[in-house]
Structure 1
Amino acid sequence: MSDRRLRSARAVYPGTFDPFTPGHFDVVDRARRVFDHVTVVVAVNGEKRPSQAAAGRAAEIRRLLPAHWENVTVADWRGLTVDYCREHGCGVIVRGVRNAADYQREYELAAMNEALGVATLFVAARPELAAMSSTAVRARKTPG
């Protein structure tokens, strides 16, 4: 894919985002510089029990993102990410990876999404953010 084609693309950055961490923020910041438009898609994942509904998490992310990031929007979505992509004209899924375990899991999802017609772009975590996860952030907030 040429640089010009990437710059004209619409991308999605899906996740549960419970909570939205500095690592997530960094991936959005980096993606918005590459793509014309990035939608942070707050997913409903039946395997997870988030602290609040997707609409509440989406509202919190909107509050956290700088107003001048005009090419970034936030939406909550129930269903497959590729269905969101098809419905909204997004050709790329952006995924952050922190380590080899993340990469392996994400690679399997990327292969399925590619078979369904949507490419995935992996964004490597910055070293200072690689140890951070939503699970770890929630654990720090929970009184022990």
Structure 2
Amino acid sequence: MTRTAVYPGTFDPITLGHMDIIRRGAKLVDCLVIGVTTNPSKSPMFSLDERLAMVRREIEGIEGDIKVVAFDSLLMDFAEREGASMILRGLRAVADFEYEYQMAGMNQQINDRIETVFLMADVSLQPIASRLVKEIALYGGDISKFVTSAVAADVSARVEAIGRKGS
């Protein structure tokens, strides 16, 4: 039986923290499905297609069976369609745990056949959040410690197109 996990997120943009969870998660399962989703409560910097392409580019060279799929549905419905037995989530801090704990409980109520598995973020990557990366970039700050050079270039180009704040 193949062990499949879904690692969901908006990945707007994909960070070194995301990459750490992907690398480590891919070693734990036979197939890792990175679910790139929309989130009605967020205003993405990149379109869904741009985020899919960005994630696919960034995971090249990572060992394991990894696929990148877009979804716009309940996570548990998506996981079921993908044949997943687990949801993979990264934790950075206590605040993450409280939110993720609640989500895991709700997801278990929806489908108790799919487990939620948490990986602690690498200590050096714990403060990284896509939201903060975008904010730093929009105000002209250096994001090179938080994303790959290719993602930094993508973000820089987008900031150039939409205009920097605080100018």
**TM-score w.r.t. length of structure 2:** 0.78
Alignment partners' CA distance in 2, 1:97 and 1:56: 25
2:15 alignment counterpart? 21
Alignment partners' CA distance in 2, 1:57 and 1:69: 21
1:130 alignment counterpart? 126
Shift of 1:29: 0.4
Counterpart of 1:65 in structure 2: which amino acid? I
1:85 alignment counterpart? 79
| Contact 2:33–2:68, Cα closer than 8 Å, also in 1 | yes
Shift of 1:114: 1.4
Query: Which of 28, 32, 40 lines up with 1:38 in the alignment?
Result: 32
Counterpart of 2:55 in structure 1: which amino acid? I
Structure 1 residues without counterparts, runs of 5 or longer: none
State, as a whole percentage, how many aligned pairs show the same letter.
33
Alignment partners' CA distance in 2, 1:42 and 1:69: 20
1:100 alignment counterpart? 94
Query: Which of 106, 113, 124 lines up with 2:107 in the alignment?
Result: 113
Alignment partners' CA distance in 2, 1:68 and 1:104: 30
Alignment partners' CA distance in 2, 1:46 and 1:11: 24
Structure 1 residues 137 and 68: alpha-carbon distance in aligned structure 2, compared to 1, 3 A threshold? closer
Larger radius of gyration: 2
Alignment partners' CA distance in 2, 1:78 and 1:89: 17
What is the Cα-based RMSD across aligned positions, in Å?
Answer: 1.4
Alignment partners' CA distance in 1, 2:31 and 2:11: 19
User: Once structures 1 and 2 are overlaid, which stretch shifts more, 17-26 or 63-72?
Assistant: 63-72
Shift of 1:70: 4.3
Alignment partners' CA distance in 2, 1:137 and 1:92: 28
Shift of 1:55: 2.1
1:12 aligned onto 2:9: no
Structure 1 residues 140 and 61: alpha-carbon distance in aligned structure 2, compared to 1, 3 A threshold? same
Write out per-residue CA displacement over residues 41-87 of structure 1, whole angstroms, 9 at most, x where no aligned residue: 01111111101222220111101112353411111110111111111
Counterpart of 1:129 in structure 2: which amino acid? L
